[in-house]
Structure 1
């Protein structure tokens, strides 16, 4: 079983109010930093498509 370390955005600083991401067993996992619960487990391709949408600004309306 291959697992990488959890990683969070540098934009969150020392805060735990963010999500963390890692790869595990060929999948991408996301979890809440403050609780450690896994929120999503998906394929790298699906995650890449989501990141492309984020970079394109498709989810900017969700920002508070």
Structure 2
């Protein structure tokens, strides 16, 4: 991931409310696009573990059901 501007998920296509990510100084920054002043910084290893957990459904039980 280049250490440039923010990238949003391809799943967010036409929506403005999305999670954005960027690499900065060997770290990974995350933010919610509609609250861009709040940034969470983590290591690439921890970010990879988060992505793996999301893909495997580890956090699905925390999701709010849609109606």
TM-score under structure 2 length normalisation: 0.79
Q: Which 4+ stretches in 1 moved above 4 angstroms?
A: none
Q: CA RMSD in A?
A: 1.7
Q: Which blocks of at least 5 consecutive residues in structure 2 are unaligned?
A: none
Provide, for residues 14-59 of structure 1, a one-character-per-residue CA deviation record: whole Å limited to 9, x for no partner.
2121110010000000011123224310000010111110111111
Of stretches 49-58 and 31-40 in structure 1, the one that deviates more from structure 2 is 31-40
Of Structure 1 and Structure 2, which has the larger fraction of its residues in helix?
2
| Structure 2: distance between partners of 1:4 and 1:61 | 34
Cα shift at 1:8:
0.8
Q: How many residues align?
A: 63
Residue 4 of structure 1 aligns to a residue whose secondary structure is: coil
Cα pair 1:30 1:41 within 8 Å, conserved: yes
Matches within 5 A, 1:1-64: 3-64=3-64
